[in-house]
Amino acid sequence: MVVSETAAKTKTASRNRLSLQFSYSDSTLPIKLADDIKRSSFSSRNRYFNALLERLLSLPTRNPSASHLDEFFSWMTLFESLPTERILQLAPSHNRNFDQMVKHLLETALIYYPENPHLFMPPREAQASAEPHPPDVADPRRYPTNSKPPAINDCSS
């Protein structure tokens, strides 16, 4: 009898070791999680959390001493500084969703950025006569001729 009770406790302890438990400071967190899990494509809470943690831990870290969560917050700060309203306005006119438009704008901006910015020092005369603003990347006439035309539901652009 004692052996079976010990075995049951050991089995319960091993199951608890694999379950994720945490305390939260925001009392609305369980409600927010439940709502998001319902809207997600994941069939269970465990699959939702597994996917969330796997994705968080797969983020590339630019600083080897930083944690993945610190890196995530850095990415979120960067994302929050984007002009999201303007990008949301531009995306439909180019047959792109928001993510595709962000990627396209970044690629377009990098085309105009010099390969080695330290070697690129325009003379003072050229600076005075240069355009006061960079070209409008939203203007399709300004795209390089070798760029791929936008496609609907194309994740590669």
- pLDDT for residue 66: 85
- Residue ranges, the chain, pLDDT below 70: 1-22, 117-157
- pLDDT for residue 157: 47
Q: Which two tokens stand for residue 114?
A: 């010099």
What integer best gives the mean pLDDT of the chain?
Answer: 75
The residue count of the chain comes to 157
Q: Which two tokens stand for residue 145?
A: 């001729």
d(CA 29, CA 70): 20
Does the pTM surpass 0.75? The reply is no
The distance from CA 68 to its chain's CA centroid, rounded to whole angstroms, is: 13
- pLDDT for residue 33: 87
- pLDDT for residue 38: 92
- pLDDT for residue 98: 93
- pLDDT for residue 64: 81
